[in-house]
Structure 1
Amino acid sequence: MPTVLLGESVPELRALFAKLFERAGDTVHTAGDSAEVIRLATDMPPDLVVLNLPEDDGPATCRALRADPRTADTPILLLSAALYPDAATALQAGADDYMTKPLQNADLIQHAHSLTTAESCPHPGAEPSHTRSGKDVATPGSVAPDGNGFAGGPPRLGGYAGFNLMGPGMRGPW
């Protein structure tokens, strides 16, 4: 199972999210703010970064991780309970997926794990290669005709429907 770096500013929520990912079999490292997320991610890049930071901290952290070659291709899932950051802001900042709270635990785990599997796509300009698990990375041309994910892959659940239509892990041209 993947190594997850969880950026959550509220200690009680950080503990709850960490326990949820651990129960799903993930190795979890936690950070309480943007600076700590960036430090941990660059010191030992995780398989996935999950961010639930206040307001501008989530998108700013995404941009910083995308700017560093050590973390540029690390999948990022941004969570938000507010209207800002909205999905467009999160995705433009470099998030691979965006979910609004409240959310179901199973949906969160499915979204997170979908970003670390062979159904994920590399970032724009990245050469198709292998995921950390050694499986081939799907290409954008392998999106199912119905838009519900990659051909042969699982359908997406919940989250931001406009982004889900693009398929797991795919990004727009920004």
Structure 2
Amino acid sequence: MSGESGRVLVVDDNRVIRQLIRVNLELEGFEVVTAADGAECLEVVHDVMPDAITLDVVMPRLDGVRTAQRLRADPRTSDLPVAIISACTQYEVESGIAAGVDAFLAKPFEPAELIRLVRRLTLREGPPSLDGRRDGRRGAGRAGSARG
């Protein structure tokens, strides 16, 4: 049973961050399922059937960028909205764009920014820009967002 706002799979190796994201999303009516790293995300994603996924970048076993690549390569998850929530370097942002990530939110973040980003993704209004504030067109922005 999905929450009234949708179901989100939150993937972060830091238990405190997972709980912080969970609480903020649940207060807004989202159902939240968590995973401790990318490998666990890939193990549960088909059972969870989320409306959106948030990924940290630096995680044991399988990092966020490689997790996003594998989600995009699987026809069952290739269209799932994916956001990276991490203190990313420019290289990680560019790698995420190349992997097909829809949105980025820098840690530390304001809870209101998190809610806006996840709501946009679950409503499929299109991904926000790299700073998580502007709407774009879903699908059209993914390939066009990469620089160079």
TM-score with structure 2 setting the length: 0.81
Counterpart residue number, 1:131: none
Deviation at 1:120, TM superposition (A): 2.6
Aligned position for 1:74: 80
**Of 109, 130, 141, which residue of structure 2 is paired with 1:160?**
130
**Gapped regions of structure 1 (runs ≥ 5):** 122-155
The code of the aligned residue for 2:54 comes to V
Unaligned runs of 5+ in 2: none
Matched-pair contact (CA < 8 Å) for 1:115–1:168 = no
Give the counterpart of 1:27 among 31, 56, 69: 31
Deviating runs (4+, > 3 A) in structure 1?
A: 163-166
Residues 97, 118 of structure 1: alpha-carbon distance in 2 compared, 3 angstrom cutoff: closer
Partner residue of 2:143?
172
Q: Deviations over 1:72-110 (max 9, x none)?
A: 110001112141653221111111011211211101110
Tell me how many residue pairs correspond in the alignment: 137
In 1, Cα distance between equivalents of 2:56 and 2:110: 15
1:61 paired to 2:32 = no
2:114 aligned with 1:108, yes or no?
A: yes
* In 1: Cα distance, 2:88 partner to 2:104 partner: 12
Distance 2:114 2:91 in 1: 18
Distance 1:82 1:97 in 2: 12
Which deviates more from structure 2 when the two are superposed, residues 23-32 or residues 96-105?
A: 96-105
State whether residues 33 and 53 of structure 1, in contact with CA within 8 Å, keep that contact through their aligned partners in structure 2: no
Q: Percent identity?
A: 31
- RMSD of the alignment, in Å? 2.4
Matched, 1:99 2:105: yes
- Conserved in 1, the CA contact under 8 Å of 2:57 and 2:88? no
